[in-house]
Amino acid sequence: MRVLWLSPWMRTLSRVHVEALRDAGHECLLITSDQHYEKMSPLPYERVLDPRPKDMRTIGPLLRTVREVKRWQPSVVVVELVWDPRWLMLARLAPMVHVIHDDAPHDQTEVRPAWQRRLFNRFSNRATRVVAFSEYVAKRLPYPASVVPLTSDVREKDLPERSTDRRDFVLYGRMSPYKNVPIALRAWEKHLLSGQHKGDRLLLLGDGPLDVSEQDLPPRCEWRRERYSYSDVLPILGRAKGSIVHYRNASQSGVQLLSMQLGVTPVVSDSGGLPEFQPPGEPGIGVDDVDGLAAAFSELADPEVALRRGDASRTHFEREFSASHVVERLADVLAQAAKL
């Protein structure tokens, strides 16, 4: 197949998908942008556009790309979080597959403008196939969707060396209301008083609208409030005893998958962590269960326990969510859309 992948916002994840398809023998062209926080140089299979419809300077590069793609003659077009209506010119060049990440916003900070929601629905209504990354989301969509397991947006070759020197706990990502950070901080205080604390820190890595001052943080807790590149955060997360993904609302969490990929146990809530993502024997903890979350800190404080459970998480990722595992199902859905 010739796969045209349109993904202005999910550049790192689309690269993983495209490279897995290329390794499987398919030709791919990725149209993306520099809007992702992870800044990258273009690869040979990428065309980088500026998705700002009101800037007239963006029209020329877009039209040149449309002409190039027409000559290339794609078999199928994948549309992923496209908010520029002009990209419809590209989406119409072959049967379309619309990739959907979530069925609803996690909280009010993620609500899109009405015109973007209409464009999103237009893509789904016109698509030959719709893809969701979990059974949870697929069941909540108002139209049929094929399920392709979500993979990590970090390539295997970019991972740091596996660490056996486990220390600290990490809560990584944009600090939005649904991330349930206040409960994590209360649980951390309880863990510190439990007698099970082994000298670890709780590290909050990421910016966002979290309404907590430095003075309000409990002891042995640091909030490094900035946007991180993966080269900065992967060594920190990769040696953690646990990754706190204890969200209030259900999420197809990239942090949950990245943690497993790194061999770190994700600690999730019963309402935020999708059971279909979690490793066996790692059930969710009540979303307001401070005692349960504190107990999870205490159990993983033992470095041998953290290492053993982290290894099991890594094995689960490799079996169920690695790019090499996902690509067969993804290629099958794309071929169905292309009628090949």
* Domains of the chain in sequence order: 2-151+323-338 (3.40.50.2000), 156-320 (3.40.50.2000)
Which of 104-118, 158-172, 234-248, 266-280 bottoms out in mean pLDDT, i.e. has the lowest? 104-118
Burial class (CB in 10 A: 0-12, 13-18, 19+), 44: exposed
Q: What is the pLDDT of residue 273?
A: 87
Burial class (CB in 10 A: 0-12, 13-18, 19+), 107: middle
Amino acid, single-letter form, for residue 81: L
Which of 91-105, 223-237, 260-274 bottoms out in mean pLDDT, i.e. has the lowest? 91-105
C-alpha distance from residue 16 to each of 5, 28, 41, 309, 332 (Å): 12, 12, 15, 26, 17
pTM value?
Answer: 0.91
| Sign of the torsion formed by the C-alpha atoms of 45, 147, 102 and 54 | positive
Is the pLDDT higher at 82 or at 298?
298
Q: What is the pLDDT of residue 318?
A: 96
Instruction: Give the strand pairing for 27-32 and 146-147.
Output: unpaired
Q: What is the pLDDT of residue 290?
A: 98
- Per-residue pLDDT, averaged over 257-276, amounts to 94
Q: What is the pLDDT of residue 50?
A: 82
Q: For residue 322, how many other CB atoms are within 10 A of its CB?
A: 18
Alpha-carbon gap, residue 280 to 229, rounded angstroms? 30
Residues 6+ apart with CB under 8 A from 29: 2, 3, 4, 5, 45, 47, 69, 72, 74
**What's phi and psi for 213, nearest 5 deg?**
-90, 165
SS3 54: coil
Which of 9-13, 48-52, 236-240 bottoms out in mean pLDDT, i.e. has the lowest? 48-52
Q: What is the pLDDT of residue 56?
A: 76
**Structural Rg of the chain based on CA atoms:** 21
- Per-residue pLDDT, averaged over 180-193, amounts to 97
Which of 95-104, 178-187, 289-298 bottoms out in mean pLDDT, i.e. has the lowest? 95-104
pLDDT at 120 over 70: no
pLDDT at 223 over 90: yes
Q: For residue 158, how many other CB atoms are within 10 A of its CB?
A: 11
Which of 90-99, 113-122, 181-190, 203-212 bottoms out in mean pLDDT, i.e. has the lowest? 113-122
Amino acid, single-letter form, for residue 261: Q
pLDDT at 30 over 90: yes
Q: What is the pLDDT of residue 97?
A: 96
Band (121; pLDDT cuts 50, 70, 90): low
Which of 30-39, 78-87, 91-100, 203-212 bottoms out in mean pLDDT, i.e. has the lowest? 30-39
pLDDT at 119 over 70: no
- Among 208, 152, 197, residue whose Cα is nearest residue 175: 208
Q: What is the pLDDT of residue 114?
A: 67
pLDDT at 39 over 80: no
Q: What is the pLDDT of residue 53?
A: 66
- Per-residue pLDDT, averaged over 259-284, amounts to 94
- Per-residue pLDDT, averaged over 47-76, amounts to 88
Alpha-carbon gap, residue 70 to 135, rounded angstroms? 35
